[in-house]
Amino acid sequence: MGEFELIERYFKRGAHQLAREVALGIGDDCALLQPAPDTQIAISSDMLVQGRHFLPEVDPGALGHKALAVNLSDLAACGAQPRAFTLALALPQADERWLAAFSRGLFALADTHICELIGGDTTQGPLNICITVFGEVPVVSGRSQVLLRSGARPGDDVYVSGTLGDARLALDALNGKLDIPAALLAQARVRLEQPTPRVALGLALRGVASAAIDVSDGLLGDLGHVLKASNCGAIINTSVAIELLAACRHSGNANAAADRLQLSHEQRLSYVLAGGDDYELLFTAPATMRATVQAAARTSDTPVTRIGRIEAEPGLRLINARGKPVSGRFASFDHFA
């Protein structure tokens, strides 16, 4: 199967499916986007490499999902409405079964968000998936509705969506570093391999959140980016945060579950605070907005948890239920560390 046949068979779809904003899709030297007036185009690009972002034995359908999901998660963090994406794919060989499953997983998620594949590239090489996504952000009265990392202010609440740490838990179990029950691994593995980008929440937080980021490198690392960009500090309540590990939460008594999983308190906290690959939204909002934030959570059908507060003093402080400082080294993920 040649390059053009491969594109034709697995990635080119009928023109009738083009969204309004896509003036030209796959098949020419460029694709064309025609943005609506008073609109900014939000752009993000993520590259996934075997062994670093996914295991060799991963299901190709799940991989198709994840490759797009991690990009949509960036749009979500900016409050952008997904519109289109490009896919550049290096493959060791044109394996039809792999391609069929990969494209199915990819398009299933793309169709959920009416996000069009408009172009890209395929080549022979070590497996590498590079997706660039395009979303729309309205400009209202000359002001962009984008959510940035830089908008957090002292006194703002700190929130996180969904649950944290389960993707890393699954990764450690799959790598043989941890022994967990099969049913629990199956649940956690969905979080690792098929994360749900929080697009609806991102849209609902326009005009509500003061700052936002998606949690890909770990909660503390990504909160660090917000604090640096916003030039402030934060205090995080670990006794609230620790409840976010779904693997424990789903098993009735969380502490008993952690015991059964043979997770120490510090390990559990480490998964939550520094697990990575979560693709939840971490965001801040003024304390006066608490009801509005919960309304946005309901509108988007996405649970959010208030875990701390922004402070003027730089740095990140962790406290327990009694307000005492919590120490511990919770390293964030770095691709070159």
Q: Binder to its own copies among 8, 111, 121, 259 (CB under 8 A)?
A: 121
> Does residue 8 belong to the site contacting its own copies (CB under 8 A)?
no
Q: Binder to its own copies among 126, 154, 181, 315 (CB under 8 A)?
A: 126
Q: Binder to its own copies among 18, 19, 41, 55 (CB under 8 A)?
A: 41
Instruction: Fill in the amino acid letter for 10.
Output: Y
Q: Binder to its own copies among 35, 138, 233, 303 (CB under 8 A)?
A: 35
Q: Which residues contact 56 (CB under 8 A, 6 or more apart)?
A: 50
What's the rounded Cα separation, in Å, for the pair 67 and 105? 9
In the region spanning residues 132 to 171, those forming contacts with its own copies, defined by CB under 8 A, are: 132, 134-135, 137, 139, 144, 146, 148-150
> Does residue 118 belong to the site contacting its own copies (CB under 8 A)?
yes
Helix (H) or strand (E) holding 90: strand 81-91
Return the number of the residue (22 or 297) whose C-beta is nearest its own copies. 22
In the region spanning residues 217 to 236, those forming contacts with its own copies, defined by CB under 8 A, are: 229
| Stretch touching its own copies by CB under 8 A, among 80-88, 188-196, 268-276, 295-303 | 80-88
Number of residues that bind its own copies (CB under 8 A): 71
What's the rounded Cα separation, in Å, for the pair 41 and 290? 29
In the region spanning residues 43 to 72, those forming contacts with its own copies, defined by CB under 8 A, are: 43-47, 49-53
Helix axis angle for 3-10 and 96-112, nearest 10°, is 40
State the nearest-atom distance from the C-beta of 129 to its own copies, in Å: 9
| Stretch touching its own copies by CB under 8 A, among 60-68, 119-127, 181-189, 321-329 | 119-127
Q: Binder to its own copies among 8, 17, 32, 259 (CB under 8 A)?
A: 32
| Stretch touching its own copies by CB under 8 A, among 22-30, 155-163, 245-253, 283-291 | 22-30
What's the rounded Cα separation, in Å, for the pair 223 and 71? 19
SS3 label, residue 179: coil
DSSP bridge pairs for 85:
117, 133
Return the number of the residue (32 or 287) whose C-beta is nearest its own copies. 32
What's the rounded Cα separation, in Å, for the pair 179 and 146? 42
Helix (H) or strand (E) holding 130: strand 128-140
Return the number of the residue (29 or 301) whose C-beta is nearest its own copies. 29
What's the rounded Cα separation, in Å, for the pair 318 and 329? 11
The tokens describing 257, both together, are 């579950």
Backbone angles phi, psi at 86, to 5 degrees: -110, 155
- Tokens 């570093």 belong to residue: 177
Instruction: Fill in the amino acid letter for 185.
Output: L
Count the Cβ atoms, other than its own, within 10 Å of residue 37: 5
State the nearest-atom distance from the C-beta of 228 to its own copies, in Å: 10
Return the number of the residue (130 or 248) whose C-beta is nearest its own copies. 130
Helix axis angle for 265-274 and 219-230, nearest 10°, is 50
Q: Binder to its own copies among 26, 42, 152, 220 (CB under 8 A)?
A: 42
> Does residue 18 belong to the site contacting its own copies (CB under 8 A)?
no
> Does residue 337 belong to the site contacting its own copies (CB under 8 A)?
yes
